[in-house]
Copies of this chain bind each other. A is one copy, B any other.
Amino acid sequence: MDLLSVYKEVDALESEIIETRRDFHRYAESAWTEFRTTSKIVEFLTAQGMKVAYGRQVINPEYAWAWPGVEAAKKQQQRAIEQGASAELVENMQYYTGAVTVIETGRPGPVIALRFDIDCNDVEESKEDFHRPYKEGFCSVNANMTHACGHDGHSAVGMFTAALLNKHKDELCGTIKLLFQPAEEGDRGAVAMIKTGILDDVDVVLSSHIFNSPNGEYGLAGTQTCLYATTKFDINITGKSAHAGFAPQTGNNAINAACVAVAGMQSFLQDGRGSGRLNIGTISGGSGRNVIAESCHLRAETRGSTTEVEQRLYKAAIDIVDGVCKAFGCSYTTEIKGICPTGNGDLDLAEKIAKAAAKIPDFKYTQTELAQTGGTDDFSCMMDAVREHGGKACYMALMTPLKAGHHNRSFDYDEGALKAGVKAFITVVDMLQKEYK
């Protein structure tokens, strides 16, 4: 491809890219409920003349961790249709979200997979004047759903990357798969896509994520080890209810047990081998004020800069729940809702990407390292899956100034980086294909 010429095409599309991102931002959809987002992506790609598989076709339900169920899906489908999704497409989805389009050039060449995540966070968006999405009118209209991790931009980047690669199909070789993955939050969607076999023949898998640029300029970092390992899990504690006044001793207080366990599990965060995280994201227990609580439910996650650090924390969390529950006469169950290894990119690939991207005018800098920040991305699973059969993988950090941290209700970013993101994917595809020859 004539990259400089393509860059100009991207620049000409900038306002459309930004519009797309803002539309997704406005109609933010939580993990596994991205019916409108999927519908819009499918409509867009189809309009480009591309063939798209979507919904149930691109998901292996057996691995759809923490999928909310048919009833919840129906309710969200209804909402999505009211917010502009195509009723026909939504029905075809069969309760699952996500989309895949494949560009077959017919010419020998590498099989490259580009992955874009599309879901939002379970956070209520800021409604304060300093928050640009609110001030400029594209704040999320969906309660407790906010694009606070940039997946709105990732989706837009993916769509226009797909359109442009398709447009220049004749200048390309090999196969390019574009995966629009649902449910990255919670590390739940990647394996469900992998288990359809979509990556089985892939030589190189790439994804990018928006990160803060410390110096305020756009940049690109190919990365080697920036992603933490994680386990997402639920804990259900079951005690016994009783009248809180008459006979508290006959009850087994599930809330008290949970609180002692949560306080106790913080003692295991120190580890000389690396850095760990433990979060009780939600807690919910009890039925009435004057009833000893019969149950308490926790949604939790552990993270670690190495899998051993993460697994020690996970085990300690379960152990303290086990010990405390026994003492309180409660029982408990745990349920794994997602697991990710540490994410390791290939250094040689990262170096090639940095070199290629250095020629993109938008970027003021490129680099091959990004410090571990505690983040996880189930793209780790895709990287492992491709490497298992000898492929290569790299996670690319798209550096752009952030207004507030990831997952914060006031998260926002400089959208000028989006067109740079499109250019980066196209440039790297071009580089990989040239290298193949």
Contacts and interface: CB of A to CB of B under 8 A. Distances in A.
A270 B291 contact: no
B405 A247 contact: yes
A249 B266 contact: no
Interface in A287-301: 287-294, 296, 299-301
Contacts of A328: 267, 320
Interface string A369-412: 00001111000000000000000000000000000011111000
A312 B247 CA distance: 13
B279 A292 contact: yes
B271 A248 contact: yes
Interface string A64-97: 0000000000000000000000000000000000
Interface string A27-40: 00000000000000
A311 B121 CA distance: 32
A271 B249 contact: yes
Contact of A121 (B230, B283, B288, B409): B288
Given A272-B247, A327-B316, A405-B246, A288 B281 contact: yes
A269 interface: yes
Interface string A209-238: 000000000000000000010101000000
Interface stretch (A2-10, A48-56, A153-161, A252-260): A252-260
A271 to B, nearest CB: 4
A149 to B, nearest CB: 8
A307 interface: no
Contacts of A245: 228, 230, 272, 277, 303, 373-376
A282 B277 contact: no
A51 B232 CA distance: 61
Contacts of A323: 322-327
A242 interface: yes
A268 B373 CA distance: 17
A122 interface: yes
Contacts of A246: 272, 373-375, 405-407
A185 B288 contact: yes
A140 interface: no
30 contacts: A122-B287, A123-B287, A144-B287, A185-B290, A228-B245, A241-B408, A242-B405, A243-B374, A244-B374, A244-B407, A245-B375, A246-B374, A246-B375, A247-B272, A248-B374, A249-B270, A255-B262, A255-B282, A255-B283, A259-B280, A260-B263, A272-B373, A275-B275, A279-B289, A281-B289, A282-B287, A282-B288, A286-B299, A290-B301, A324-B324
Given A249-B268, A269-B270, A320-B327, 12 more contacts: A121-B288, A122-B287, A186-B290, A241-B407, A247-B405, A248-B272, A248-B277, A249-B270, A255-B282, A280-B293, A283-B285, A320-B328
Interface of A: 121-124, 144, 185-186, 228, 230, 232, 241-250, 253, 255-260, 262-264, 266-273, 275-294, 296, 299-301, 303, 309, 312, 316, 319-320, 322-328, 337, 373-376, 405-409
